[in-house]
Amino acid sequence: MRGAPPDRSVLLLLPALLILALIFLLPLLWFFVRTLLVEIEPAKLPALFASVLSSRPMRIALVTTLWISLVVTAVTLMLGYPLAYYLASRSGIRFSLVIFCVIVPYFTSIIVRTYAWMVLLGRNGVVNQLLLGAGLVARPLPLLYNLLGVVIGMTYVLLPYMVLTLYAAMKGIDPSLLRAARGLGAGRFYAFRRVYLPLSLHGIVSGSLIVLIVSIGFFITPALMGGAGDVTVAMLVERAIEILIDWPSAAIMSLVLLAATLVLYALYGRLTDVRAMLEA
Amino acid sequence: MRPALSTFVALLCLVLILPIGIVIVLAFSGGTFLKFPPDSYSLRWFIAFLGDERWRASLWSSLEIAVIACAVATLTGFGASYALVRGSFRLKKLVLSLSLLPIIAPTIVTSIAMYYVAARLHLVGSLVWVGLCHAVIALPVVLLILIAALQSVDPDLERAALSLGCGRLRMLRKVVVPLALHGIVSAALFAFLTSFDELVIALFLTDASTQTLPVRIWNSLHLEVEPTIAAVSAFLIGVTGLVLALDALLRRRARVG
């Protein structure tokens, strides 16, 4: 009997690595090197970094981005945890119904999901029509074109990421452990807090990191649902190119976004073994 | 405690699915502005969508780009996932982390880098270039699906074919591809969907004549919230529904077969 197919299968990696290198890594490298090292004098670089990072729009954008990202991560965790717990502890039709409600939005275009919430939250939107119709408010509530709108829209877009990550972690928790704790006299809440919560902790951390990673660089939803003053770093990057045609500033701000994302991704890789996917 | 959890989950599920349902209902509205529930129903906004030459051109751009992205991502992704599942080489973890990077890196950063290169190589507006860029974003999706599918293929069957004198490529074609076919088709479907729905890269890389559907929705949303967009959105939701339904069907077939 011959052994496992030898290492020649590595050759099959080459086409994927080639397009990854040529169409993803090379453009990033080319862009950063040209804009920051070739097209401006190296001596001026530190001063440029300092002026871009300390500029008023960038400072405000950094605070806005961080605030939105943290709030959205917290809200998706609070909403997603019970939903994932429900999914992990149910089967049959209940499971199918709930997973349907998570999966369909997850695979729907982000622009469509954002549009849906713009229709719902607008001044003459569905929510305000219902509230006015029911006599609950005297005039339309400002739900869109402010930070509230951005948080609602982004929470909706990112909730499935959180739920699916948490669910994957919770599925691995042996339910008999909870029963054992209950059998030994622990109350329902005590058993949850001392047994289930610690076992699901790595899911909480991975889910939060994923949502944080995606929200830091998020562009579509804040751009459409935010007010004139609610500018994120990603929107500032777009403006630097589309309106100001200021490539060096765009590159510096991109570098900040990319660095923050890569640090979080490295943390994520540390905490959840990527290779586990290969052995699952 | 239990009823509280069930109620919470039921409400949240409504909030998750209702916005999509409402867009579909609004797409069939008969009025000239968005009102829910609509006073009357009609197909006028779908006719406005498919009857408009510019919307139709966008639909074609979206399709052409998605077909290129799907073909490139599925073909290269199949090879890569086979190597990742069967191969015994070091740096596996590094290669996998690297190939997942395109969905981790902020799309806005990736997009402007791709735009920067395209501007210098006169590729802005090229459908092939957008298709290749989308293939990179779709590759991680393909890898995750195919790695799972290939793990369910019994390596003994591959060894048996090889020891009976079957060549390596022929073995791949005659043994692995048929056994992992449901996974390959699923991967291709989701690669197609990833490209078909993508906005940010297409926003930077297309020009007026190659705008995709999401890009045209984006441009229209800045002008006014016209009901045609509801019809286009419902169309995109329909494509998502079709992909999910086909995928579910394939899974069932694979389980039975």
* Interchain CB distance below 8 Å, B105 and A5: no
pLDDT for residue B125: 93
Residue from the list A2, A86, A160 with its beta carbon closest to the beta carbon of B163: A2
Domain holding A132, by residue range, is: 52-274
Q: For A174-219, write each residue's pLDDT tens digit.
A: 888 888 888 888 888 888 888 899 999 989 999 999 999 999 999 9
Is A46 inside a domain boundary?
Answer: no
Domains of chain B with bracketed CATH: 61-256 (1.10.3720.10)
A143 belongs to a structural domain: yes
Q: Establish if A191 belongs to a structural domain.
A: yes
- % of chain A beyond a pLDDT of 90: 72
Establish if A241 belongs to a structural domain. Answer: yes
- Specify the CATH number for the domain of residue A257: 1.10.3720.10
pLDDT of residue A40: 86
Per-residue 3-state assignment (H helix, E strand, C coil) for chain B: CHHHHHHHHHHHHHHHHHHHHHHHHHHCECCCCCCCCCCCECCHHHHHHHHCHHHHHHHHHHHHHHHHHHHHHHHHHHHHHHHHHHCCCCCHHHHHHHHHHHHHCCHHHHHHHHHHHHHHCCCCCCHHHHHHHHHHHHHHHHHHHHHHHHHCCCHHHHHHHHHCCCCHHHHHHHHHHHHCHHHHHHHHHHHHHHHHHCCHHHHHHCCCCCCCHHHHHHHHHHHCCCHHHHHHHHHHHHHHHHHHHHHHHHHHHHHHC
Query: For A216, which residue in chain B has the nearest alpha carbon?
Result: B106
Q: Identify the closest residue of chain A to B109 by CA–CA distance.
A: A254
- Residues in chain B with CB shorter than 8 Å from the CB of A220 are 199-200, 218
Is A217–B35 a contact, with Cβ atoms under 8 angstroms apart?
A: no
pTM: 0.92
| Chain B residues with beta carbon closer than 8 angstroms to that of A103 | 244
Average pLDDT over residues A246-267: 94
In a domain, A18, yes or no: no
Contacts of B136 in chain A (CB under 8 A): 19-20, 23-24
Contacting residues of A for B86, CB less than 8 Å apart: 4-5, 9
Min Cα–Cα distance to chain A from B100, Å = 10
Q: What local confidence, expressed as pLDDT, does residue B251 receive?
A: 86
ipTM of the complex: 0.92
Residue A279: the pLDDT is: 52
Residue A271 pLDDT more than 70? yes
Residue A122 inside a domain? The answer is yes
**Which of A2, A103, A217 is nearest residue B159 as measured by Cβ atoms?**
A2
Q: Which residues of chain B carry a pLDDT beneath 50? A: none
* Pick among A1, A2, A8, A13 to test the B interface (most B CBs inside 10 A): A13
So what's the pLDDT on residue B61? Answer: 97
Q: Which residue has the higher pLDDT, A118 or A279?
A: A118
Q: In this predicted structure, what is the pLDDT of residue A7?
A: 57
Q: How many separate domains does chain A show? A: 1
